[in-house]
Amino acid sequence: MSTRNFIQEILKRSKTTYSTLQIALFYLFRVKKVVHEKLVRRHTIVLPPTPPSSQEDYFDDQQQQQHHNNNNNNDNEDCDGPARKKQKRQVSERLDDIMCCGRRMFLASLMVSSKYLHDKNYRNRAWAKISGLDIKEINAAELAFLRLIDYKLYVSKPTFDKWYTLLHGYVQKQQKQKQQQNTSNLTSCPNNSFSITPTSITKDNTTLITTNTSSCCPSIKPEV
């Protein structure tokens, strides 16, 4: 199953509200830069730094600060034993694997946003049934996402208003492009008109017709 179909199935099965989806997408937008950096390091690709847009600066400033703090915390680890350090490294690598999984991060973002907005929510066991994942995978994905976003789930009204404008502007643009594409496909089809010619009359006086259509339409033979 493709990621697109996975997302559609999750939204359908969970009956996610539009407001919940808006917040979930905002959370993903907020953490996308850190996830991208993790993917770059994982694939050892050296990319030239690109200046972020003003919108990215507006939504990602808190996440950049948290990423910097996390690096400082890793540098200032206390003197644990070898077994303890190995366990921490394994947990960290596992969480990094989950953070780099687009499906799990979308699912975790949806879970967290639903819990933040609504008093009554699905339990993690229900999310496991909805997604087809094990309950341990659900718990790990939720923990990874919360650490990624530094547990900062509050969204101020000015920030949400700007996100609402940005999101709806993008949706309307996509819908307009789709309509233009559909219109272009219709106008590019030659000989859209078709003629109807009676050919014979059956015993019950039912007229049979044949249609002469263009090459873009399938021909249907009448049953005699």
Checking DSSP bridges between strand 195-201 and strand 207-212, what pairing results, if any?
Answer: antiparallel
Residue 217 in any domain: the answer is yes
When comparing pLDDT for 51 and 151, which is higher? Answer: 151
Helix, strand, or coil (residue 106):
helix
Stretch 118-129: mean pLDDT: 93
**CB burial of residue 111 (10 Å; 0-12, 13-18, 19+):** buried
Instruction: Return phi, psi of residue 209, to 5°.
Output: -130, 155
In terms of pTM, does the model score above 0.75?
no
**CB burial of residue 103 (10 Å; 0-12, 13-18, 19+):** middle
Tell me how far apart the alpha carbons of residues 108 and 102 are, in angstroms, rounded to a whole number.
10
Measured CA to CA in angstroms, residue 80 lies from 39, 76, 77, 156 at distances of: 28, 12, 8, 40
Q: Are residues 106 and 39 in the same domain?
A: yes
Residue 215 in any domain: the answer is yes
pLDDT band at 223 (very low <50, low <70, confident <90, very high): very low
Residue 177 in any domain: the answer is no
Number of domains making up the chain? 2
Residue 171's pLDDT is 85
Residue 168's pLDDT is 85
Domain of 69, in residue numbers: 3-77+84-155
Instruction: Return phi, psi of residue 210, to 5°.
Output: -120, 145
Q: Are residues 112 and 38 in the same domain?
A: yes
Q: Are residues 89 and 197 in the same domain?
A: no
* Residue 68: CA count within 13 A, CB half-sphere: 6
Please report, as a single letter, which amino acid is at residue 9: E
Residue 174 in any domain: the answer is no
Residue 213's pLDDT is 40
Q: Are residues 40 and 136 in the same domain?
A: yes
Closest CA to 127 of 1, 2, 11: 11
Q: Are residues 97 and 31 in the same domain?
A: yes
Residue 186 in any domain: the answer is no
Residue 102's pLDDT is 86
**Angle between helix 102-117 and helix 18-42 axes, rounded to 10 deg:** 140
Instruction: Return phi, psi of residue 212, to 5°.
Output: -100, 100
Residue 112 in any domain: the answer is yes
Tell whether the model's pLDDT for residue 219 goes beyond 70: no
Tell whether the model's pLDDT for residue 144 goes beyond 70: yes
Q: Are residues 125 and 199 in the same domain?
A: no
Residue 148 in any domain: the answer is yes
When comparing pLDDT for 54 and 34, which is higher? Answer: 34
